[in-house]
Amino acid sequence: MSVPAVDNTVSSGNASVAIPADMSGQMLDLDEDDDLEVFSKDTTITDGSSFNASMQTSPASMINQYKFEEEEEDVGTKDIFVTVDNPESHVTAIETYITYRVMTKTTRSEFDSSEFEVRRRYQDFLWLKGRLEEAHPTLIVHPLPEKFVMKGMVERFNEDFIETRRRALHRFLNRIAEHPIFSSTEDFKIFLTAASEELISHKKQGPGFLSRMGETVKAVAASVRGVRNRPEEFNDMQEYVEAFSQKINSLDKVTQRIIREQREYLEELKECGPTYTLWSNSEQELAEPLKNMADCLDRCYKETDEQVKQLNDQLSPALHEYVLCTETLKAVIRRRDNIQADFEAKTEALATKKADREADSKVLSLAWDSLVGRSPEEVKQQRQQKLKAEIKEMKDDLEKLEDRLEWANNALKSDWTRWNKVMRTDLRSAFVDTAERNVSYYEKCLAIWESFLHSQRTDAEANGKADFS
């Protein structure tokens, strides 16, 4: 079975659509003590100051004119829009957690209505992800934000953390909604539409703990056996994932370090302005330029604050999201290998069973005959019939496994192509946006300091004319 490759890019240019792909209003989920996840564990600077410099980014900038054709193509093709917003805190005697409003608008005929609104907690998102992976082990499920336990936080939830997590969950659901297979699953439909009590009931219908443990044991056994004849394309895929993982992890760490250093610089910059102001009080001749310096530094501080927030809120989550994606890809490849290992083990078992039938021991038949009082030929025929039935059953199982392996291979190859297209669009968009904001940031800071130089030259010219006169 071949899975169609469909682009699931969330367009940032969906302003003309009823529901844009990137909605604001994110949330944090303190479902339980171990239920806290976030792409970035650093909180952003919470200073509320803002400054809009008079000098705008050059309209002739090539970056400002950059457009993504892939994003524009998706606008008219989406038929399901999901929004995650409006966090609500819930405090009980047992736990403290946050629920999220999940709003859905769709034109799909399989839905009973065109609009739905439900509330979900983080563990519900986790359940959905697990069900999709269970049903489609070699399709790539978009990652959820990683787990991060924040001890002692009951009422005072960090707003920046809430926003980062909300964005991640919103993105997760929209990735599912844009997937040609995941979006049509019953589990996804129930997640979007069912009342809380109905969802709880549906979740209980899943495999039990012992069943999941059995699957885990089988997976471990398969991974220990390994695969002998993995197709070359999957070897290439694994090599790519390993290389990509190293690069994206390195970029993620460097970006986090830059953000930390920028915050330290920001704190130093924040102290400079007041220092110049104090100095101006004791230097009459330099009072005016010192005050201008203080003003410029304060304005640069505000621009730098916005720049750091952009790195923390946009670039860093985009990079870290794909750090998590690499782990998802590795897990998908392992699951594919487990299916092949199972197929190879069954093939070996069938070959062994056939050899047993061919080498049916007459000595054993005679020994058995002496015990039960039947003729050796009768015993042998019964044994042969039993082996024949077992072989037939094993052949049937093997055919099913072969079909499953073929489907798994085709599904992964198709979804791999799809994932690569989405990944490159996502990262390119993040890089271009960062470049555009950097250009804007430096142009604004440049304009601030040029205004200072202009004021000083004007003052110097005025003083020179005064001295000449």
Instruction: Give the pLDDT of residue 371.
Output: 55
The most confident of 26-35, 53-62, 298-307, by mean pLDDT: 298-307
Proportion of the chain above pLDDT 90, given as a percent: 51
Give the 3-state secondary structure of residue 72. Answer: helix
Say how far apart CA 205 and CA 322 lie, in whole Å: 32
Residue with tokens 């190859």: 413
Instruction: Give the pLDDT of residue 194.
Output: 93
Q: Is the pLDDT of residue 3 over 70?
A: no
Instruction: Give the pLDDT of residue 394.
Output: 87
pLDDT band, very low/low/confident/very high, at 431 (cuts 50, 70, 90): very high
pLDDT band, very low/low/confident/very high, at 42 (cuts 50, 70, 90): very low
Say how far apart CA 455 and CA 188 lie, in whole Å: 62
For the residues 86-103, what does the mean pLDDT come to?
86
pLDDT band, very low/low/confident/very high, at 150 (cuts 50, 70, 90): very low
Domains (range + CATH), the chain = 69-211+226-350+399-468 (3.30.1520.10)
Instruction: Give the pLDDT of residue 79.
Output: 87
Q: Which residues have C-beta within 8 Å of that of residue 25, sequence separation ≥ 6?
A: 85, 86, 166
Residue with tokens 């009072």: 287
Q: What are phi and psi of 435, to 5 degrees?
A: -65, -45
Of the listed ranges 16-25, 129-138, 375-384, 442-451, the one predicted with least confidence:
16-25
Distances (CA, A) of 294 to 269, 300, 435: 10, 10, 28
Say how far apart CA 431 and CA 164 lie, in whole Å: 19
User: Which strand ranges, in their side-by-side order, compose the sheet holding 96-106?
Assistant: 80-91, 96-106, 115-121
Nearest CA-CA partner of 408 in 342, 469, 464: 342
Q: Is the pLDDT of residue 289 over 60?
A: yes
The pTM assigned to this predicted structure is: 0.72
Instruction: Give the pLDDT of residue 17.
Output: 36
- DSSP string for 353-394: HHHHHHT--HHHHHHHHHHH---HHHHHHHHHHHHHHHHHHH
Residue type, 152: G
Nearest CA-CA partner of 328 in 158, 52, 91, 132: 132
Instruction: Give the pLDDT of residue 207.
Output: 63
Instruction: Give the pLDDT of residue 117.
Output: 95
DSSP state of 146: P
Q: Which residues have C-beta within 8 Å of that of residue 12, sequence separation ≥ 6?
A: 21, 22, 71, 429
For the residues 349-362, what does the mean pLDDT come to?
74
How many CB atoms within 10 Å of residue 73?
Answer: 12
Instruction: Give the pLDDT of residue 468.
Output: 47
Instruction: Give the pLDDT of residue 296.
Output: 94
Q: Is the pLDDT of residue 278 over 80?
A: yes
Which residue would you say has higher pLDDT here, 210 or 358?
A: 358
Say how far apart CA 414 and CA 421 lie, in whole Å: 11
Which residue would you say has higher pLDDT here, 24 or 162?
A: 162
Q: Residue 196 has which token pair?
A: 């809380």
pLDDT band, very low/low/confident/very high, at 62 (cuts 50, 70, 90): very low
Say how far apart CA 369 and CA 358 lie, in whole Å: 20
Q: Residue 422 has which token pair?
A: 């989405």
Which residue would you say has higher pLDDT here, 234 or 164?
A: 234
Which residue would you say has higher pLDDT here, 380 or 213?
A: 380
pLDDT band, very low/low/confident/very high, at 290 (cuts 50, 70, 90): very high
pLDDT tens, residue by residue, 299-340 = 999 999 999 999 998 899 999 999 999 999 999 999 999 999
